[in-house]
Structure 1
Amino acid sequence: MQCPFCRRDNREDARFCDACGTRLAAHAGGEQSETSIVSRESELARLADLLGKMTSGHGAIAVLAGEPGIGKSHTAQTLARRAAGVRVLWGRCNEEPGAPPYWPWLQIMRVWIESHDEEALRSMLSAAAPIAEVLPEISRRLGDQAPLLPTTDPLQHRFRLFEAIASFWRLAAASEPLLLIIDNLHWADASSLRLLEFLAAEIEDSRILLLATYRDIELNRQHPLSVTLGDLARYGHFHRLRLAGLTRRETEALIAQSGGKAFTPALLDAIYEQTEGNPLFVVETTRLLVQEGVLGHGTRAGRAEPCAPPGIRIPEGVKEVIGRRLNRLSPSTNLVLARAALIGRTFDLQLLRRVLDEPLTNRIQDTMEEALRSRIVEPEERPGWFQFSHAVIRETLYDEIAIPARSGLHLRVAQAIEGLYANDADQHLPALAHHYTHALPGADAVRAADIARRAAERATGLLAHEEAARYYRLALQAAGMTSACDPALKCCLLNALGKSLTLAGEYLQAREAFEQAMSLAREAKATDEMTSAALGFERATWAPGLPGQTAARLLREALAAQDSGDSTTKAQLLSSLARALIFSGEEAQAEIVHEQAVAMARRSGDTGTLVSTLVSTLSARWQPERSAQRLRDIEEALSLAEKSNDVLRALDAQAWQMFELMELGDLSTWRVRLEQCERRAAELRQPFESYVAATSRATFALMEGRFDAAARLIEQALQIGRRMPGLDAPGVYGMQMFTLRFEQGRLRELAPLVRAFVNAMPRAGTWRPGLALLYSEIGLLDEARGEFEELAGDNFAVVRHDALRAASLAYLAQVCARLDDKDRADALYAMLLPYDGRNLLIGTTVGCLGAASSLLGLLATTRREWRDAQHHFECALAMNLRQGAEPALARTRVRYASMRLARNAEGDVDAARVLLEDARAAAARMDMRALVEQIDDVLRSAAHTSCPPWPAGLSPREAEVLRLVSSGLGNREIAERLFLSPNTVANHIRAILAKTHSANRTEAAAFAIRNGLTGR
């Protein structure tokens, strides 16, 4: 076996090099790997159980938490050694922030790729093109991959990358079970954590056990890992194990394993008390005491000393222990190790040589041999690379470097990296940015800013938006230290920072960056940067649904700075301004600005700009009275995009077309468009459109009353949406589950959650209509009235023209009717009337509440406008029947029946009973329990109203069907007349024939004539 340090060959079973004492790679797993593990058997048993389940296809995620040195890495190493028949792959996060984005994942994937031939690689990487963006080794091994169709949305681009990596691991695990270990997760870059969150959903049904270690003392609420752990905790296949200190007996065994040959109980107690059973602390203290000659001489005349020997002090702290161990090394070795600590936990000997002064360089072999023999460092598998045996040792050495000296030393490391890797400098930009910025103020601030900017741009290219934001902040920090900071440069960096923060979903921070950029650009009269800042601010405002007044002000300012004449830039600004105005409540002005934007885009002659302008404000134009204009815009955008082969913009326009079709109730065309959208989204790997299709499927199942299927589809949509940053997938999930529980009559289950959520929301008015409906449905009428009164202020001004307007009006209409508030019914009726003839939608694809006419009829009933109510209800029955909206149809029948009972005109009681009979049958079939109870209450109240019995035991509905049969109508005509499906009519006729003992329709008609049913 060749020594990685001196290159001398040794015996295959040798632990250390005969020439230099270097620990050989086969035995380089850490000091405790040479001995049996002390304790941790209970944790290892739990992990072994997960490992066994994983090999059977039940994957899991496990984390080992604890303080530094508690044995997290060692426990992971032991599990890896015991994982027979499982491929083990390691990734380690660096404590110094100079590693490339996705560093632990890149390490793991590289090891897998290096261990497989081209044939295996080709069969694995069906999605090689996205992965090749972050792993150039793929292109070197397989050649350039066919690029994916580019997407204009960076978030969808990153989703495709993450999905490709998930596909990689699914295929790899199908070939062999995998144990993926990520060490020191608390040091992972934020982009790596987002990837972990994405992969979490893919692991449960695969042969993968992902084990991560982290220091829990490093975490607080602001730490990125805290968010990740909270996200992972949602999964049933996530397991957290916390390692505590060893017991006194286990400490005694570890002291013996670490070289302590003889020690008194008093000395054991002293070590145990000071170390609190921390394995690293125990081992380091033992080694120190052995070196100092304390251990091995702890007894006198065969009697145990009552305490530690006089004059011997047990160090209070692991860094003090390590410091005393380092003090036993030569001064030159300490200097070399301190320079190595500047480089990081792992370091390249070639790079270290360039950092050292010539005298130290000449003695580097002797100093490294001493460090190796003292177990301070150990060789890595890569030839010429070494690492500190524990991260705390590196931290101790780094912390001991005087702060004034660090700046110059970091600069020396940066220059050494540039010199050593001159031909591959871009790959080392993260490390260079780290060292150059830490070299300030001694380094060239302009150079440091430029390096950090380039590192940010590279991170953006790798879709690591969180890391890009960090590097842009470093660039701004460096730029601010220049003697004459260029406002244009700072403005450009702030705009880039805002964009990265927007892509990372940090909208409030993004808005702050864009506002600062706008202020600087205004002073510098930098028109292009003003434009970027205004457009960026509006996007960071619109995406989370914030009010648009500030965005509108900035956009107007940017427009005023433009040159006269038309331009695509002005068209973009006008388009964004129109959207901002809508979110400011200025709908009329927004329409004028939108028309100006479209006209300018047409004059520009740029098809892409025109398509984007036509589509851009659709997300904020919710007024039903503008539906015809929206449809024209969509159709034009779709036609232009398809003619220019702009398939992504065409797909976007098609998604908006689906929204309009559902609102209009054209469900047959909607289904065709949905299938096309699903197929194209899958072909083009467009995750957002796939998410839209998934939520649409859930909405359609809810609309048809397929509640079990809806529950499954809602969960599936959530899993897709959670993996896309910037989407409010949990919010959509909550609204769909609210709709499902409402239809099932199970809103009581959600009451505590909805109440807590509404109270915690800063824009509570958005969600209070749902809370009012919940109170109303579960019988808390005083609470419902309180919410309703608060929302009704200023003529329901809280109900804005946004995605939730239709749903808010629907909820409030039902509460208003339940409270029998005639005055408020007038206002709500006027607000809801523009939706007449349409479906009421929640957002675009979140939910469909059926025909708006049903609720118009309910409000007309509350107003005692009987003729209007009857007209609305009959329109709603026809629309809901035509589109198969079974729950909405059942509720409309109950509302219509209640209206007719309240009016009590001739024939109303009979008609009401028929409606209630049909509604109850449908509600019972769909298990709408609360609605069934409501119908039974209405039937009981109507039972006292006189009504002649029907002959032969016919029900009211069967009598009505028989009357129409006797009039000569066919099944389809009867279905249309009674708002029933032809199948339901056929079922009624079979029952009629059986009850009247008729052989056919003619005999049944004769029965009707004999019993006087034709005139009833």
Structure 2
Amino acid sequence: LRRVSSFGRVLLRGLNIDEVRRMLESLTQENIPVGLAEAVHRQTEGNPLFVQEVVRYLTEEKLLTRESGRLQTSGDTALEMSIPEGLRDVIGKRLSNLSNECNELLSFASVIGREFPLDTLKAVADMNDANFVNALKEAVQLSILEERSQLGEIRYRFTHAFFRQTLYEELIAPQRLYIHQQVARSMEKLYEKRLEEHASELAEHFSHSTDHADLEKAVSYGEMAAKRAMGVYAYSEAARLLDQTIKVQKILDPDDKEKLCDLILDLCDTLFPIPDTKRIIEVEAPAAFALAEELNDSSRAVRGCKLAVEAVFVDRFDLGRDIQKVWIDRAERYALPDTPEKAWADATLGSWMFNRGDMHSGEKLIRSALDLARRLDDQYTIQHVLSVAIVMWVAPQYTLEREQLGEELWASVQRSGLRGVVPAAFGQLFDAYLVAGKKQQAEKYLDDLRIIAEKTKMFNVVQFTSLIESDLKIIDGQLEEAVKMSKEVRARSEQASVTLFSGSGARVHIYLGRPVEIPESMLRSFEGRVSNCLILAHQGQIEETSKIIDRYVIKRTNFGTDEDLFPTFADTVFLEVSILIGHSQAAEMIYNRLNGTDVRTGGARALPCIARLLGGAAALLERYDDAREHYKEAIKVCTEMRFRPEMALTRLELAELLLDHYPDEKAEALEHLDFAINEFREMKMQPSLERALRRKDILKA
């Protein structure tokens, strides 16, 4: 073919991780977690044939198990240690065509690693120069190795990981042990001025030794490599390195509980941004806490509690869960007075109490914790407590304070990095700006957050960045784009087995007139139940929504007083629902609570312009002049925020008000109506468009 003039070589790349995951799901008809897809990709390099063979092997050998509705490799099965028999035969035939010298050289190379420097191979291979060069040339010509030279260094790489693995497995244990030791010592000399760059390889080679001093080096280099991986946001690699380091430490000195506890806590830090919260909650945090208890070490104990609490929040979403309270109580037990640990524990307990309904006691604890954190000037703790306050203090009376706390939090983040921010605070800081009607500040915050998300690749930061982008798309009237982004966020959450819900996701479907359903898991959360109430109201289920309104509005203790700390977003939704179903009593109660406050919108979880809803409530209560003034205020707010859907809805409702109660204002009403119709068409807000057109038809008739 090479001699044919029309011949051309087409280089095919392997599948990427996401493509491998989709192929696995197609082959197994199961949900595949990212970790398993990464392992298969690492093993097969995305070669579709190899992917298929690996899946067949894992299935036939019963090495896959179902856990929480998802496939995982069973027990301690290491995917990298498994070569399907069919592939082993193919690889064996390729290697059998090599000379003895070439096979010997490749055996040394297989111990060094998938990729290796020529100098290291030369140092450990017991061959004369002529045989070495000939064997190396043969391996390259037969495409077992490929040259990967770079400035100042000649490197080689196995063309596929399976070649390296097969050769490695053919060595007997004493051979492997000897070569690993030789490689480790050679690399230490070769890279004595760049040990950190090669810490991962050094840790791997020293870990295969039986010598005590070598194992100590394996632990030291393992920690160094993990720290370096975290520094470049390679969280999965850092977790893999610490897993290996912990295994070595248990062999080296299982009685050194301080070291083991620290390694497990560091491992939890790497698992959190992946996120592998389930493992933190069920395995690593309990193990670290048990060791800290044995040591009677309060600092380590509280650190373990912190990691568990934050993991439960991400994994389960609801701050009020009982499992979280267990860890909070443990933190309170071990946190010493006037320490960052005490401030963290009190703030977290305050958030739990707040979420369980004891809001005033919770607020006092959070304020006390914030005073202590500021006094100690501990940025991690300051960020944590500020995050808790922003997440919890969502009643109308907190609007200005919450915005100020958000500014303080973000200033700390920009000074000190993301050290103690509760994940939900990323969304709630944006919410604070929206509630206050500060869209420009919200957009500036998004720009900063987007930079952090792109740099760190932290799952929670990426997810909340996308949710905020989706909310701003809704405000700008790009509703289809918002739907697309919302679906992507949900898909990533499901893929990572974490719960992340957006009330605005339901809102955009309502704007577009499309069916929407709250996931069953989210109906257990308060936010999910509130959003579901709005959906039921739009579906015309008046009896069901009336029961919800009676429970959360009519029968609410201390309604509308300073003691009422009920969330702004919830009363925003309940006001909208009350107007929809004609519940005058509830509408008047919420109207009186929200009127005259600093609240401009329902925030990220509800979105509507408050002045528009106040206008609707006033109209329902037959206070038409008040309704007209509220609609004028809504137009002002929506103009400042460039809030297209709410502007169109406001002008439609104002047109309806004028047509029904101000017959002399027909010209103005028609102007508002025509504006709304054009906007609804452009944004594809079908239910509102049909409502506006019906009004126009009545006028024509």
- Report the AA paired with residue 849 of structure 1: P
Q: What is the one-letter code of the residue matched to 2:368?
A: Q
1:368 aligns with 2:140: no
Partner of 1:626: 398
Q: Unaligned stretches of 5+ in structure 1?
A: 1-31, 45-77, 81-180, 187-192, 198-212, 231-239, 245-315, 902-906, 944-952, 956-1016
- Number of the residue aligned with 1:344: 113
Is structure 2 residue 160 aligned with structure 1 residue 401? no
Moved more, 504-513 or 447-456: 504-513
TM-score by length of 2: 0.68
The whole-number CA distance in structure 1 between the counterparts of 2:27 and 2:184 is 31
Question: Could you tell me which amino acid in structure 1 is paired with residue 92 of structure 2?
Answer: G
1:79 aligns with 2:10: yes
What letter corresponds to residue 32 of structure 2 in structure 1?
R
1:120-269 equivalence runs, <5 A: 221-224=32-35, 226=37
- State the shift of 1:808 in Å: 4.9
Question: Within 5 A, what are the aligned runs for 1:638-677?
Answer: 660=432, 662-664=434-436, 667=437, 670=438, 673=441
1:618 to partner: Cα distance: 1.2
Question: Residue 594 of structure 2: which of 829, 832, 835 is its match?
Answer: 835
RMSD in angstroms over aligned alpha carbons? Answer: 5.9
Which residue number corresponds to residue 876 of structure 1?
630
Secondary structure class of the residue paired with 1:470: helix
1:850 is aligned to 609
TM-score normalised to structure 1 length: 0.50
Are the counterparts in 2 of residues 852 and 876 from structure 1 also a CA contact under 8 Å?
A: yes
Q: Corresponding residue for 1:971? A: none
Aligned to 1:758: 519
C-alpha contact (below 8 Å) 1:538/1:580 kept by paired residues: no
Which amino acid in the other structure matches residue 881 of structure 1? I
Residue 81 of structure 2 corresponds to none
Specify the alignment match of 1:451 in structure 2: 221
**Are the aligned partners of 2:655 and 2:672 in contact in 1 as well (CA < 8 Å)?**
no
Is 1:598 aligned with 2:370? yes
Cα 1:392–1:518, aligned 2, differ >3 Å: closer, same or farther? closer
Query: Aligned with 1:503: secondary structure?
Result: coil
Question: Counterpart of 1:570 in structure 2: which amino acid?
Answer: K
Question: Residue 926 of structure 1 is aligned with which of 674, 679, 695?
Answer: 679
Give the secondary-structure state (helix, strand or coil) at the position aligned to 1:707.
coil
Residue of structure 2 in register with 1:510 after alignment: 280
1:747 matched to 2:513? The reply is yes
What's the CA shift string for 1:340-370, capped at 9, x where partnerless?
22223444443234434x5x56885387269
Contact 1:576 1:617 in 2 (8 A): no
AA at the equivalent of 2:613: S
Counterpart pick for 2:330 among 549, 554, 557: 557
Between the aligned partners of 1:217 and 1:35, the Cα distance in structure 2 is 40
Q: Which runs of 5+ in 2 are unaligned?
A: 51-84, 557-562
The answer to whether 1:574 aligns with 2:327 is: no
Deviations 1:543-586 (A, max 9, x none): 5633244445434433433444x344433443344344444554
Question: What is the one-letter code of the residue matched to 2:291?
Answer: L
Seen in structure 2, the aligned counterparts of structure 1 residues 587 and 340 have a Cα distance that, compared at 3 Å, is same
Q: Distance in 1 between matches of 2:248 and 2:618?
A: 64
Task: Indicate yes or no: 2:266 matched with 1:496.
Answer: yes
Contact 1:813/1:859 (8 A) holds in 2: no
- Matched residue of 2:251: which SS? coil
Q: Is the 8 A contact 1:498 1:514 kept in 2?
A: yes
- Which string of whole-angstrom CA distances, capped at 9 and with x for unpartnered residues, describes residues 977-1001 of structure 1? xxxxxxxxxxxxxxxxxxxxxxxxx
Match of 2:295 in 1: 524
Of the three residues 540, 547, 561, the one matched with 2:311 is 540
SS at 1:849 equivalent = coil
Structure 2 contact 109–121 (Cα < 8 Å) conserved: yes
Shift in Å, 1:747: 1.8
Name the % identity.
18
Check whether the contact 1:552–1:580 (CA below 8 A) recurs between aligned residues.
yes
Inter-CA distance 827–517: structure 2 relative to 1 (3 Å threshold): farther
Q: Relative to 1, partners in 2 of residues 1:419 and 1:328: Cα closer, same or farther, differing over 3 Å?
A: same
Deviation digits for residues 212-255 of structure 1 (CA, Å, limit 9, x no counterpart): x99x999982354848999xxxxxxxxx99789xxxxxxxxxxx
Read off the aligned partner of 2:33 and give its amino acid letter: Q
1:329–1:318 Cα change, 3 Å: same
From the superposition, tell whether residues 447 and 693 of structure 1 become closer, same or farther in structure 2 (CA, over 3 Å): closer
Q: SS in structure 1 opposite 2:272?
A: helix
**Using a 3 Å threshold, how does the CA distance of structure 1 residues 729 and 556 change in structure 2: closer, same or farther?**
closer
Q: State the alpha-carbon separation in 2 of the partners of residues 679 and 222 from structure 1.
A: 30
Paired residue total = 629
Tell me: CA distance 1:581–1:641, structure 2 relative to 1, closer, same or farther (3 Å). same
CA spacing shift, 1:488–1:641, aligned 2, 3 Å: same
Deviation at 1:892, TM superposition (A): 5.8
Equivalents in 2 of 1:220, 1:694: separation in Å?
A: 23
Larger gyration radius, structure 1 or structure 2: 1
Greater shift in the superposed pair: 423-432 or 811-820: 811-820
User: Retained in 1: the 8 A contact 2:399–2:432?
Assistant: yes
1:936 Cα deviation after fit: 5.8
Q: How far 1:466 moved relative to its partner?
A: 1.8
Match of 1:965 in 2: none
Residues 696 and 221 of structure 1, relative CA distance in 2, 3 Å threshold: closer
1:590 partner SS = helix
Q: 1:36 to 1:790 in 2, by over 3 A?
A: farther
For 1:79, what is the secondary structure of its paired residue?
coil
Q: CA deviation at 1:530?
A: 1.9
* 1:83-113 Cα shifts (integer Å, max 9, x gaps): xxxxxxxxxxxxxxxxxxxxxxxxxxxxxxx
Instruction: Sort the Cα spacing of 1:771 and 1:37 in 2 relative to 1 into closer, same or farther, 3 A.
Output: farther
Are 1:518 and 1:533, in contact at CA under 8 Å, matched by a contact in 2? yes
Q: Does 1:423 align with 2:196?
A: no
Provide the C-alpha distance between the structure 1 equivalents of 2:312 and 2:262, rounded to a whole number of angstroms. 20
* Cα offset, 1:456, TM superposition: 0.7
Which of residues 142, 147, 163 in structure 2 aligns to 1:380? 147
SS in 2 for 1:926: helix
| Residues 622 and 390 of structure 1, relative CA distance in 2, 3 Å threshold | closer
After TM superposition, give the deviation of residue 792 of structure 1 in Å.
Answer: 6.5
Q: Distance in 1 between matches of 2:259 and 2:236?
A: 21
Contact 1:853–1:875 (Cα < 8 Å) also in 2: no
Alignment partners' CA distance in 2, 1:457 and 1:37? 53
Q: Is the 8 A contact 2:114 2:157 kept in 1?
A: yes
* 2-structure distance, mates of 1:527, 1:487: 14
**Structure richer in helix, relative to its length:** 2
Q: CA separation of 1:323/1:804 partners in 2, compared to 1, >3 Å: closer, same or farther? A: farther
Q: 1:923-953 deviations in whole A, cap 9, x for unaligned?
A: 213225523433565788x99xxxxxxxxx9
Residues 451, 805 of structure 1: alpha-carbon distance in 2 compared, 3 angstrom cutoff: same
State the shift of 1:604 in Å.
Answer: 3.6
CA drift at 1:807? 4.7
User: Are 1:568 and 1:609, in contact at CA under 8 Å, matched by a contact in 2?
Assistant: yes
Aligned equivalents of 1:675, 1:761: Cα separation in 2:
28
Q: Is the 8 A contact 1:571 1:597 kept in 2?
A: yes
Are the counterparts in 1 of residues 318 and 525 from structure 2 also a CA contact under 8 Å?
Answer: no
SS of aligned partner of 1:434? helix
